[in-house]
């Protein structure tokens, strides 16, 4: 690895240490369905986002709620002395990327076969704070 590439990688690692985030990899839901729910909570305050996810009927909302609670726990681990209400946490970034795809064959008439693609996704939630009480 080159020097510039290594230095840039170290800068990114240091920046990730100061923010609170959580990742969910290989979630067996299509990215399109997950993005419908993710768009509802993007930019919302954490309390409001938890309420939206709790009372949403889609299956993806349960998984995102659990991921958001994990991101909040990660924030609390980094800022042990800070209070969630005073910090005014909000969902700074939520990203849904396509994951691995299982490919299957389904029999079709006249000796043919149709390909079935079982999609999965990766979700990343980044929390931000309006009051900059995060310690570096």
Which contiguous run of DSSP H or E holds residue 7?
helix 3-18
What's the predicted TM-score (pTM) here?
0.83
- For 72, the domain range is 20-129
In a domain? residue 83: yes
Q: How many C-alpha atoms does 126 have within 13 Å on its Cβ side?
A: 11
Structural domain contains residue 54: yes
CATH number at residue 117: 3.90.470.10
- Residue 40 belongs to a domain: yes
- Count up the domains in the chain and report the number: 1
In a domain, 70, yes or no: yes
**Domain-embedded: residue 111:** yes
Give tens-digit pLDDT for 33-78.
Answer: 999 999 999 999 999 999 999 999 999 999 999 999 999 999 999 8
Does any domain span residue 125?
yes
Tens of pLDDT, residue by residue over 6-36, are 999 999 888 777 789 999 999 999 999 999 9
Q: Is residue 134 part of a domain?
A: no
Confidence at residue 6, expressed as pLDDT on a 0 to 100 scale: 94
Residue 43 lies in a domain: yes
């Amino acid at each position: 690895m080159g020097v510039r590439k290594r230095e840039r990688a170290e800068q990114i690692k240091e920046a990730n240490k100061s923010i609170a985030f959580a990742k969910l990899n290989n979630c067996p839901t299509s990215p399109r369905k997950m993005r419908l729910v993710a768009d509802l909570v993007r930019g919302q305050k954490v309390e409001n986002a938890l309420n939206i996810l709790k009372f949403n009927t889609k299956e993806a909302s349960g998984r995102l709620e659990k991921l958001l609670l994990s991101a909040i726990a990660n924030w609390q681990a980094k800022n042990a002395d800070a209070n969630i209400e005073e910090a005014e946490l909000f969902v700074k970034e939520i990203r849904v990327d396509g994951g691995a795809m299982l490919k299957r064959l389904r029999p079709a008439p006249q000796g043919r076969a149709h390909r079935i693609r079982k999609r999965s996704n990766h979700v990343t939630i980044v929390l931000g704070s309006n009051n900059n009480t995060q310690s570096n």
